[in-house]
Amino acid sequence: MSFFSRLTKRALSADSLLCIGLDPHPEFLHRSTAGEARDFCLRLIETTTDLACAYKPNSAFFEVYGADGWKALREVIAAVPEEVPVILDAKRGDIASTALAYARAVFEELGADAVTVSPYLGGDSLQPFLADTKYGVFLLCKTSNPGAADLQMLDIGQGEPLYLRLAHLASIWNEADNLGLVVGATDPAAVAAVRAIAPDLWLLAPGVGAQGGNLEAAVRAGLRTDGLGIVFPVSRGIARAKDPRAEAARLREAINHARQKAKEGIGAHPGLSPSLAALADDMLETGCVRFGEFTLKSGLKSPIYIDLRRLTSFPDLLARVATAYIPLLKGLKYDRLAALPYAALPIATAISLQTGQPMVYPRKEVKGYGTQAVVEGGFEQGETVVLIDDLVTTGGSKFEAVERLKEAGLEVRDVVVLIDRMGGASHALADAGYNLHAVFTLEELIDHWEGTMKIHVEQAYTVREFLGIRG
């Protein structure tokens, strides 16, 4: 049985995605000794076994005691019941015979079932850890520490950050169902981006509890369509609690509550991935999309109003919206992003910050003083830009922006938006030689919200009638 088959079996039998961290910090111990560290962990195991999907001891808190600590770690791992997987947090990473020795130490000498590994040395450094399919590897992908952006967010071309390339490679390397990824729950946008690229891999998502990760957002972003695929390691939040068992039970229940909410959304409209379903729901909940009666600029009465300028008041949601653009941008060839004022300016800025891609924007009104620039930002004539906007209906505003960009000597081939309102823009842009790419169509959103009962059937019907969409 492969490692993740075992993990799946345990998650289902325990009805748990909670991984309990075994980190015997000196502050938790009466005396800082290997024996005290061992006994501390044994008490946690004894009181929480039925609640845990897995246990994750951190080797550093044992290695600090030398040979005695190594022995204590082996005893802690041996105390975990056979049916509960043990993930050793050791962050190993080397090549050839050295990596093989590390793998033997982790799996054969210590008895762990899986280990965290650094990917910096490339795919061959993983092979000794993956050779036996009953053992698993969680590869560091997008970690939860502040310095993660120093390397993991580096743009490696076409707006793709390094951590997403790693997620893609991991999907290829996972030939025997024993390779997963570490993605911090402190960054739900990154969790969603990784899930979009690696829809089948298991994720280990630290950061809930002491690090302040948003549990519900991380569950919704990382859950697979089968309601599994992500485990949440919690150490200090349980160890510091007055009643560790009660806290573990509370966390398991909180995870399961978030799972149920996410699964309801996933099952109702299988056309949206879990991360996009969560994004759609949060746009509705934050008032970026509203239903009622609204007077549009044209004077028409509309039963729906989409105001993505509100994203500026919800930074986490803005970051996730930006992340949703990245898979569409990956396949396009361009030199810079070009944002349409005003709603797309913060969205494109967030994309730029996540990918490192430079940005420009065409002005709505050209100044009569200063540089009198038609397009703001640095660029070279002849460069290609991809047009970023929040919405598209008929495409009219896009043509105006394209003309201003062309006046400045820039080329445009592609337009990328969050929502296509299905007002004919796709055909109009195509006829003019431009390609439209949308994260959502309005029909997909209406179907999803109706299917998950976020809106009434009557509301969905009214919007479809207004837009000429037949459900």
pLDDT at 267: 44
Burial of 463 (0-12, 13-18, 19+ CB in 10 A): buried
Q: Which of 249, 268, 287 is the last residue of a domain?
A: 268
User: Which residues, at least 6 apart from 106, have a Cβ–Cβ distance to it below 8 Å?
Assistant: 88, 90, 92, 112, 115, 129
pLDDT along the chain (471 residues), means of 10: 93 96 90 93 96 97 95 97 96 93 96 96 93 96 87 81 91 92 89 86 87 78 88 93 95 92 58 82 94 78 92 92 92 93 94 92 70 83 95 86 92 95 88 94 88 79 77 43
Burial of 469 (0-12, 13-18, 19+ CB in 10 A): middle
One domain, residues 257 and 281: no
Burial of 215 (0-12, 13-18, 19+ CB in 10 A): buried
The reply to whether 91 belongs to the active site is yes
CB 177 within 8 A of CB 129: no
Q: Which of 268, 297, 316 is the last residue of a domain?
A: 268
pLDDT at 212: 62
CB 305 within 8 A of CB 327: no
Q: Which of 268, 296, 311 is the last residue of a domain?
A: 268
One domain, residues 259 and 405: no
User: What would the two tokens of residue 410 be?
Assistant: 């820039």
- Which residues form the domain of 349? 277-467
CA-based Rg of the chain, rounded to a whole angstrom?
25
How many secondary structure helices (H) and strands (E) does the chain include?
A: 19, 16
Give me the catalytic one of 71, 91, 134, 261: 91
One domain, residues 228 and 286: no
pLDDT at 269: 45
pLDDT at 9: 95
Q: How many domains, the chain? A: 2
User: Which residues, at least 6 apart from 150, have a Cβ–Cβ distance to it below 8 Å?
Assistant: none
One domain, residues 343 and 396: yes
CATH number at residue 393: 3.40.50.2020
Nearest to 259 by CA among 225, 233, 235, 284: 225
One domain, residues 128 and 214: yes
**β-pair type (289-295, 301-306):** antiparallel
One domain, residues 219 and 178: yes
